[in-house]
Structure 1
């Protein structure tokens, strides 16, 4: 999602755009910097495909367990949780700790970076909520019961 939407379609948020800018530079520098950013975006996509393969393996293992509900809300909640965690971790590390890129390479990039983190948090909360509300109540507790005997 991040690579397709931000990197390719909106042409923002390239992996090393803070170090090798593609805005407000001469044409020769632009060409070199675009090549560098394209290469590192490609490595980013390789990494995300590896993580996708690992996620599919984890999904395969989960559907074989009897304690994992095989429902659309749990599946969509898990996707949302994963996307949110990825954006939060990537945003903190790349945008705020390493400063290798920002959502936009403009003077007002902080608001965009914070919005990106906030969107990650919203996805995490949505995913946790969807997963939690899809779980059946424990058998030893009924509605209105405190569970104390």
Structure 2
């Protein structure tokens, strides 16, 4: 393998690792904020609302653990990128927005509407809550996708 091929391969790996580190961080951060704000502070719902409150609290704990595993794992990947001086911050932020948006859209469509394991809030007219939740998710996905697309050929010097 020529040195140019090794450089290109290392740049491809670094771009991919920046994206995945950001994606996992965004996923974990959005899950953490969802769990902290909507589950604990506002008490609008639990991760799993089709059973008792005790089961709902246990499901919240497991959900919280998942969010932290994703967040901590992403930070180990980010630390490795920093050690190698391979951080592409714009690409990483794009990954964060994509991860957060994908989590939120999945939660809003799959968990809220298709699986019905919980609703964002139990009120008579949930539509405004659903619209805001899903529109914010789509905005994050579009912005993240634009940043990732813009940095698709960015190289580590």
Query: Is the TM-score greater than 0.5?
Result: yes
Q: 1:92 to 1:58 in 2, by over 3 A?
A: farther
C-alpha separation in 2, matches of 1:137 and 1:39: 43
CA RMSD of aligned residues (A): 2.8
The question of 1:101 aligning with 2:118 is answered yes
C-alpha separation in 1, matches of 2:151 and 2:100: 19
**Residue range with higher mean Cα deviation, 48-57 or 6-15:** 48-57
Q: 1:97 to 1:61 in 2, by over 3 A?
A: farther
TM-score scaled to structure 2, two decimals? 0.63
C-alpha separation in 1, matches of 2:56 and 2:154: 49
TM-score scaled to structure 1, two decimals? 0.66
Q: For residue 43 of structure 2, what is the aligned residue in structure 1?
A: 11
2:75 to 56, 62, 68: 56
- Cα deviation for residue 44 of structure 1 reads 0.7
- Which of 1 and 2 has higher RCO (CA within 8 Å, sep 6+)? 2
Q: Say how many residue pairs are matched.
A: 123
**Residue range with higher mean Cα deviation, 91-100 or 53-62:** 53-62
Q: Please list the CA deviations of residues 76-134 of structure 1 after superposition, one character each: whole Å capped at 9, or x if unmatched.
A: 22111111111112222210111010110112123312321221111111111223334
C-alpha separation in 2, matches of 1:11 and 1:75: 32
2:58 to 39, 46, 49: 39
Larger helix proportion of the pair? 2
